[in-house]
Structure 1
Amino acid sequence: MTSILPEIARRLSLRTTFSETAMERARDAVIDTLGCMIAGGHDPAVQAVVNAFGDEMSSGGGCWLVTGGAAPSSLAALVNGTAAHALDFDDNFHPARAHASAVLVPALLAVAGAGRTSGRHFLEAYLTGLEAQAAVGFGVNPSHYNRGWHGTSTVGTIGAAAGVARLLGAGIEQTAHAMSLATSMACGPKGQFGTPAKPLHAGIAARNAVEAARLALAGSAGRLDILERPQGFLDLFGGDEPRGWTDWPMEDAHVIETRGLVTKRHPCCASTHRAIDALLDLKHEHNLTAADIVRIETKVGLSAIRNLVYREPENGMQARFSMHYCLATALVHDGLSLKDFEPCALHRPQIQALMSRIEMTSYTAEEERGHERLPHLVAVTLKNGTVLRHARLHAKGSREDALDADQRRRKFADCLQWGGHRTDDGLYDRLLALPSLSSINEALPPV
């Protein structure tokens, strides 16, 4: 049997053309990620990276930094990747259980070169990296993610290496070796959620993807059976019930068409989103207020309850991983915004009072067995004894319930405003033309 990495690389190489739908969705993902990078550029998690490596950045480099200036490619990927994920507003990709674009876009920007990469070539490399993430994730998820591994920094690293390799002109064998080397760099425990290490995972993954691809093109190599062999990725990282790659499919349509990405509506952990959306659905249907409610109960996936460990968050980072805070804030303010995670927002009396009336449970492992995902459930008990129930299998922003063009544009403008960037300079419209640009640099905003 052919080792899986060469087979993934071979199948990726066969996809030489992409549909207009795939290109448009890739463009939208890149735009959304750039917005999140700009919004996150001043976050303390990002500033810590800049401060740590400031001496090395001051020596220069050719790669654009969202924080200003330029740096060598590895550092640019590290800074920009951390910024992309700093506010937890960047997209989710279910096949990889990863924040795919927060790794891919910074990694690809770091090797795009000074004016040498067209917008279409950049998007093709993005789509290659995304499909590679889906391929790696197929063999280990959801068992890998449920075991406690952060797919962004594990599966994301390995898959993004394939995207970077494509942008650098690698062949099939070099791509497979880039992914193999990235396997040796893949790490990141979900126990770090709610700390600055979590967004750093995306930055480290982007940096590792760049370095793995460049090492492979320079002649370095790893075992091509490292995913499936004893003491390999599946063996060590697969969790309790990994399925492996025996029946791995690669459909005619790209995974971005069949599965899509989830463009976040709320700047917090995706594990909260379906419950938030279900609660907002009930609020709008029944004109609910906090004063009407005796209790809110939500039932979520097993991995979600493990992610959301902060019942009484002490800072904005923890609040992003608090179902109690996110649900209460969404109900009171009819949604969540970036300002809801500032320190001054966390202890508002009305939010705190409602948080005390929220309970969260999860499905059992037995209930989840055989299902890729189950709906998140919300039950609201009113003072008059009525119980309102609603379920959400898909969050707002998913392929099944996508944001429209105006919602995407408004989110981008909000991100620019939060990051201190002008919102009237035509950047969004320039980015919409990304597939036709002769250089990716034409789309990069001045900082």
Structure 2
Amino acid sequence: MRFRAGLATRGALFIAPARAYLRRMSQNPVTAYGRWIAETPDAWPEDAIEAARRAFIDIVSVSIPGAVEEVTRLAFGTVAPWGAGPSTAIGHGASLAPPWAALVNGAAAHALDFDDNFDPAKAHATAVLAPAILALAESEGASGRDCLDAYIAGLQILGRVGQGVNPVHRNRGWHATATIGAVGAAAACARLLKLDAERAANAISMATSMAGGFMSQFGTMTKPLHAGLAAKSGVMAASLARAGVDAGRDTLDGPTAMNRLMVGPDYEQLRDGLTHVEHGQTLRFETEAIGEPLLILSSGLKVKRFPNCGSAHRAMDGVLELRLANAFTPDEVEAVHIYAPVTHLNNLMHMNPQDGLQAKFSLEYGVAIALLTGAATLKDFTDEAVRQPEIRAFFPRIHRHPVDKAEGEFPTEVEIALKDGRVLKTAVAMPAGSLAAPFTMDQHWAKLEGCAAGLLAPDRLEKLRNALAEFAELPSVAPLTESIKGPFLTREA
């Protein structure tokens, strides 16, 4: 009896730590996310499928003019000699190996800063996910429905990882498109490759070793390259995981994990001291209800009305609203006051932009363009446009007022003082293109047509539109990728 009692006691000593270990592992985000990617059925609501399809429409639209930007052409010229492959490089006459196609197309997708935003991750999600998915889909012979499935699943993990490190990660200068984007792309690619739970977790973990990118690159060619590098990392991480390369499990949450290294040594203090939470950003990784709610529906994507940094869009929407509702000319404007969250204004660091890239991150330029033209199009963000004296002369009349509150706590307030003494005011909580004011289907097609103008011949544009309209039913992505394979026309054609 004593012997049996001893066994029982010693057994309990072994079982308790084993249970604790299993419980810890079940809550480990890398393990949990790998399992979710591998085991979640492809049974998404139809509105989620439609939202994903519209995300592909938007990213393909902006990638067409993005493909002819200098950064994309330089990226293609760099990687093309490294080897051909099965995956389309948008706007170019050659196909590449999947990682290089993902890099080039990611740069094209983000080159004009006309691509969507995703609040839970504080990242440009589709510019990373779609290039990675399409590059692998061509290589693997995947269908349009496979791509939409991978997108929804990858976006969910991208959002969950973002919620685990934001808002501090982004506010401290990390470009989440590059960092969190790499992890989300790995999850999407793991889903497309149908990896098992172990290999999917390895892909997610491995991607943290490829994650990097600073906001100090904003206004340079390297900023759009961040999206391409993240897309490339997703393809590589999932492919290496499929081949059997393993990775650690403490790379998202742990003493030397993303949360403590890419938030800071005060991570736990910040997490435990949160008093206001936006976009689910709790500084905790959700592992119990990973798929609930489905973020593509509950948070949605912010489709861009203007081809510049989204932090300027609430102010520009407000300016255009006041311009439309009141009869005044730019010459009658005495001053424009913009009251906005400090995090938005920090993203708009170029108060006196010198070229088109810097203008994309300038509140002053965005507001001036909206006031002077009543719109803001691709042609307004060229180097030549930025040098126009009448636009630059307006900068001193635009005044920024940082507000130390989160974007959900404080809507952007626009105040226009006219020389006749009138003061016009409005406040914008959510920009056009968000869930609060979503694009109609007609607006999506209009954006495609505007982006393709002068680059795609009418018959090619029609084929592309048909492929995008029927994307969920395509047995392969070839009808889509064939329509955007280069070379394109020139803008003057």
TM-score in same-fold range (> 0.5): yes
Q: Counterpart of 1:309? A: 349
Q: Counterpart of 2:76? A: 50
Question: Is it true that 1:265 corresponds to 2:300 in the alignment?
Answer: no
Which residue of the other structure, out of 466, 470, 480, is the alignment partner of 1:429?
466
Q: Is the 8 A contact 1:266 1:273 kept in 2?
A: yes
Q: Counterpart of 2:149? A: 124
Which residue of the other structure, out of 7, 11, 16, is the alignment partner of 2:42?
16
Q: After TM superposition, list the pairs within 5 Å mapping 1:355-366 onto structure 2.
A: 355-364=395-404
Question: Is it true that 1:32 corresponds to 2:68 in the alignment?
Answer: no
- Opposite residue 63 of structure 1, the aligned amino acid is S
* Distance 1:373-1:230 versus aligned 2 partners, 3 A rule: farther
Q: Counterpart of 2:448? A: 412
1:55-111 CA-to-partner distances (Å, cap 9, x unmatched) read 22xx42111110321011111111010010000011111111111000001101111
CA distance in 1, matches of 2:364, 2:211: 32
- Opposite residue 412 of structure 1, the aligned amino acid is L
- Opposite residue 377 of structure 1, the aligned amino acid is E
- Opposite residue 205 of structure 1, the aligned amino acid is A
Question: Is it true that 1:110 corresponds to 2:147 in the alignment?
Answer: no
Q: After TM superposition, list the pairs within 5 Å mapping 1:393-408 onto structure 2.
A: 393-408=429-444
Which residue of the other structure, out of 308, 321, 328, is the alignment partner of 1:288?
328
CA distance in 2, matches of 1:75, 1:161: 15
SS at match of 2:177: coil
1:301-334 CA-to-partner distances (Å, cap 9, x unmatched) read 2222221111111110001011101110011111
- Opposite residue 260 of structure 1, the aligned amino acid is G
Return 5+ residue gaps in structure 1 as ranges.
none
Which residue of the other structure, out of 280, 284, 294, is the alignment partner of 1:245?
284
- Opposite residue 346 of structure 1, the aligned amino acid is V
Cα distance, 1:169 vs structure 2:
1.2
Q: After TM superposition, list the pairs within 5 Å mapping 1:380-391 onto structure 2.
A: 380-391=416-427
* Distance 1:91-1:373 versus aligned 2 partners, 3 A rule: farther
Greater shift, 352-361 or 38-47, is seen at 352-361
Cα distance, 1:8 vs structure 2:
2.2
- Opposite residue 452 of structure 2, the aligned amino acid is L
Greater shift, 95-104 or 223-232, is seen at 223-232
The RMSD of aligned alpha carbons is 1.7
Which residue of the other structure, out of 184, 187, 190, is the alignment partner of 2:209?
184
Q: Is the 8 A contact 2:163 2:285 kept in 1?
A: no
SS at match of 1:94: coil
Q: Counterpart of 2:257? A: 232
- Opposite residue 471 of structure 2, the aligned amino acid is L
SS at match of 2:206: helix
Greater shift, 267-276 or 345-354, is seen at 345-354
CA distance in 1, matches of 2:42, 2:293: 12
SS at match of 1:397: coil
CA distance in 2, matches of 1:342, 1:130: 32
Q: Is the 8 A contact 1:416 1:423 kept in 2?
A: no
Cα distance, 1:115 vs structure 2:
7.2
- Opposite residue 61 of structure 1, the aligned amino acid is G
Q: Counterpart of 2:96? A: 71
SS at match of 1:93: coil
- Opposite residue 326 of structure 1, the aligned amino acid is G
1:159-211 CA-to-partner distances (Å, cap 9, x unmatched) read 11000001011112211111110011111000100000100000000001111
1:354-391 CA-to-partner distances (Å, cap 9, x unmatched) read 22200112122xx34xx755311211111122222211
SS at match of 1:406: helix
Which residue of the other structure, out of 338, 351, 366, is the alignment partner of 1:326?
366
- Opposite residue 42 of structure 2, the aligned amino acid is T
Question: Is it true that 1:85 corresponds to 2:110 in the alignment?
Answer: yes
CA distance in 2, matches of 1:74, 1:279: 42
SS at match of 1:187: coil
- Opposite residue 387 of structure 1, the aligned amino acid is V
CA distance in 2, matches of 1:199, 1:205: 10
Return 5+ residue gaps in structure 2 as ranges.
1-23, 272-281, 487-493
Q: After TM superposition, list the pairs within 5 Å mapping 1:91-102 onto structure 2.
A: 91-102=116-127
CA distance in 1, matches of 2:149, 2:89: 22
Greater shift, 341-350 or 25-34, is seen at 341-350
CA distance in 2, matches of 1:285, 1:116: 52
1:238-297 CA-to-partner distances (Å, cap 9, x unmatched) read 256354326665454521111110111000011111110011111111133212211111
- Opposite residue 271 of structure 1, the aligned amino acid is S
Q: Is the 8 A contact 1:74 1:207 kept in 2?
A: yes
Q: Is the 8 A contact 2:160 2:285 kept in 1?
A: no
Cα distance, 1:342 vs structure 2:
1.5
Greater gyration radius: 2
- The two structures have a TM-score, normalised by structure 1, of 0.95
Residue-pair matches, total: 440
